[in-house]
Every structure is written in C-alpha cells, then in structure tokens.
Structure 1
C-alpha cells in the first residue's frame, strides 16, 4: 500500500478526481484530506501550481477508507503512515499488534475502575486478592543508584534500561550483584507527577563502584552510596500483579497493615525485584512491595 506519487501531467488523465469529488467518494472533509496530505498518509496525485487545487486518482479511495478505519481504532497518524506503507500481511500484523496494546490498556483501565469503585464506595480497596504482610531485616548494602524524574508511561522502559546498565556495571566492574535490585519512589510517579525514582543495585566492591559512578555519573545521573540497614514491612506479589494498577492493591495492603499495627514508615516505598523477570510466568512471585519501618 505504498503512497502514490504525484503525477506531473495529471490534467491529461480524465479520471482524476477533484478534492470535492474525492471527499464525496471517501466521506472525508477537505480539512481531513489536507491533514492527511501533510502527514504523508494520502498525498494527492497532483496539485495545480496556479490554483492550488488538489486532484486524486480513483484507486486512492481504498487507501483513504483504510486510513479512516484505522483512525477509528484510535491509531495515531504516525502509526497509520507506517501501516499503510506495509504489504498486506505486514499491515495485518501491525493492526493486530496495535489492537493487542489497546486491549491491554483497556484491561488495566477496567481494573482501575473496579478499584476506584471499591475505594470510593467505602469497601476494602484491596481488590486484587489477599496480601500477606511480613517483616524482614535488611543489612547495610553498598549500591549503585540511577535517579530520574519520570512519568508513568516512561517508567517501565526506564527501569528496564537502568537495571540492565547497573547490573552490567556490577558484573563487569564492581565485583558482582550482591543482593536483589530495588526501585525507590521518593514521590508519586503518575501521569502528572514525575517522582523522582531511583533504581538501586547492590554491589560487592564499594571502591570499584565509587570509581565507576564517578566516571559515568554525568551521563546517567549515577551515584554510589551506602543503603543503611533497615527493617521492611512487605507483601510479595506475582508478575501479573506488578502491572499498574493491580500493584496499587499491594501498596494499599501494606499501608493498611502499618496503620493497624500502629507503625509509621521511616522512608520512601520501594519494590524489590528478587526473581528473573523474563523467565517468570504471570503467576510467579517476582517482587516485594515494601515500606521501611522503625
């Protein structure tokens, strides 16, 4: 479905359609056609240099209708431009991949609606199962830390990239990874609030870690520091429960437990990733949602 080129001698072709005729055939407004032209989605076959009038070939009607249908799937114009440039099988796969992402977003939003309805109605907000709360003592550790202000839609990709960088550094330059990596949230990370958050990887060689952080710090905002010994109240969750907004229930469960026990948090909340993420299935436990407590 490659974009048709503009015909340098179009007026010799009696089948060319004016923009008005083409708009009628495609049920698109002239404004939409101009937008699609600017985006490279549906360029006219010819634009008259003297009048600025646009002309289209009849075979462009099918492409125009395809663009309209893809827009009804809430596909961004840039993605549509890529899809209509593919062959038939490639375009079909791209549409399927887009819809899978849409359904994943809808599923997350549906879960969030259930959560909000329960919370606003006064029912228990822990709607994603029963969370067992435990406590554990965590020894002092020396950690490589990457800190960033980040919004919700950027968070997963940044965590993955940061963990990969820091774990590689730990293995190659800092004596190895000494304990489970974790992410600290110093403030809310949402669509409107950007944290900041810290990705932390405990390492075995503090002196080497300091040297590596000093060399790389300007590029990645990396530092090396001591994470003091502390006690954590936590609940263990599965890979499926890590996905937002399901994970909200885990945080709520730990916060409710702290309130019942008369305890207060002594530091920012965190997620401790103790399992190999890629090897884990949806029902496998991979993460502790935790708060430091006194």
Structure 2
C-alpha cells in the first residue's frame, strides 16, 4: 500500500463521495470491479482512495444503463480508447432486444385478440422414411442459433468425409418448448444414405414415414417472434381439420442455402407431423 492511512477513505466515506451504497461497493469488491486499496486484516474494514473516484463514477453510470456486472468488468479492463466502443456495442444489443420485444408485444396482442392470420399457405405432404444422423441437446432460446449452426457444422463435413450423400433437406425437431425458461431438447437432423460411423455426440436412427402439414417462409420470417406466426398458422389449420398435432413434434426444414439467401428468399418449411 503506497498511500498512508491518512490518505484513505473508509467505505462509508467513499460511499458518500461516490453516491454508491456500501452494499454495492462490497459487491463490486467481490466481483473484482472496484477493489479497496487496503483491507484491515484485524477488523476487515475496507479503505479506498480518491484516485478510485473515476472508476466508481463510471461503474455508476454503466449501472444506470443496466449493464450487467460482467460486461462492466470488460469495460474497466479495456483500454481507454476501447471503452466507448464496448459501451456502444452493448447499447446496440439493448436496442435490438427492445425491437424484438416490441414485435413480441404486437404478436401477443394479435394472439390475445384472436386476430386471424391468412398470410400463410398451408399444404400437406407425406414424408418418406429416412435414415438420419442427428445431434440432440438441451438448449435455451438465447443459445439456439449457435447450437443449430454448430451442429450442422459438425454433421455436414462428417457426411462428406464419409462419402455419404444427403438425401433430403436438413431439419430441426423441437422435442420440447424452447424459451428463456425451457430447454427443449432440440434435435438437428440430416437425412443421408450409405454407411457412416457417428462421431461422439451424434446418433443415427430411422425417421419413420409420416404425413405433415407445413407452410413455407422466407429468411426474414424466420426471425423471432415473426416465426411464431407460422407455427400458429399451421397448428390452427390442423385443429380446424380435426387433426391431432403437438408442438413437441414441430420442425423447421431448411431447404435453401441460408448464407446465400436474402430476407425475401424462401428458405424454410414450418412443419407439423400429424
């Protein structure tokens, strides 16, 4: 400790000067955000220095933005010329989340007011039995896109290396609800033919022949919560036809190159076996 005891501020004095509560300061100490310059080994009292006012002020401002503490830690660890970039990046994420919530509110309003949606063309087909290689995992909504991409990224090269041709469009089966509280599970599936030795975490099984109702949507419509409208449309059509269906067997069939598709290009079927 370079400062003398006379240079130091007790936690209560530092709290008054920074307008941060003592409870918050103890939390920031535990998180490594704002560590006291000295802790009395006998009493456990925390002491701070005036040179820490700027860091305390910055933490207080970032908390006003409701920035999580782990993100604040990243800002504090960054160089001064990088900090503003990190704050702007965080706020872009907040704005994107707000836009998504606004769209979800509109979706919920339409749902609760029982407004009918006639924009989806519902069709039926019989899907033949197929041998599929799959990766199944429990995953929450925030991690779903990454899981799907990583699973396809493992399966496709393995099939190519095994000289096993893909026989139909890849698809994703939802065996359970996926949101912020429920984690599926979700199964990424690729139909193929020929002998393949599955890698760790992969499974090979036969998907039985079945009829299904489906609607085709664009890449732009695959975004949450817009995609929920397609699910609702297919399940409602099945109920009106007197058909039994379950969200737990719903699937997304990806028949186009996702990376090359534009927002208005048709890329996916939302399908329900019945």
Asked if Structure 1 and Structure 2 have the same fold, meaning a TM-score greater than 0.5 normalized by the shorter chain, the answer is yes
2:97 to 92, 105, 112: 105
Structure 1 residue aligned with 2:208: 228
2:226 to 214, 235, 246: 246
Q: In the alignment, does 2:81 pair up with 1:85?
A: no
Say whether the 8 Å CA contact 1:174–1:204 is kept in structure 2. no
Secondary structure of the equivalent of 1:59?
helix
**Cα-to-partner distance string for 1:35-70 (whole Å, 9 max, x where unaligned):** 101111011222233443322222311111111121
Structure 2 residue aligned with 1:136: 125
CA distance in 2, matches of 1:15, 1:49: 18
Q: In the alignment, does 2:183 pair up with 1:167?
A: no
Secondary structure of the equivalent of 1:10?
coil
Q: 1:263 to 1:178 in 2, by over 3 A?
A: same
Structure 1 residue aligned with 2:265: 284
CA distance in 2, matches of 1:180, 1:134: 17
Q: In the alignment, does 2:240 pair up with 1:260?
A: yes
Structure 1 residue 104: Cα displacement: 2.0
Q: In the alignment, does 2:64 pair up with 1:72?
A: yes
CA distance in 1, matches of 2:261, 2:66: 32
Structure 1 residue 279: Cα displacement: 2.6
For structure 1, list consecutive stretches of 5 or more residues without a partner in the other structure.
1-7
CA distance in 1, matches of 2:160, 2:58: 50
Structure 2 residue aligned with 1:5: none
CA distance in 2, matches of 1:96, 1:89: 12
For structure 2, list consecutive stretches of 5 or more residues without a partner in the other structure.
none
Structure 2 residue aligned with 1:274: 255
1:149-188 aligned at under 5 Å gives the runs 149-188=138-177
Structure 1 residue 237: Cα displacement: 1.5
How many matched pairs?
273
CA distance in 1, matches of 2:2, 2:115: 71
CA RMSD of aligned residues (A): 2.2
1:5-154 aligned at under 5 Å gives the runs 8-11=1-4, 14-124=6-116, 126=117, 130-154=119-143
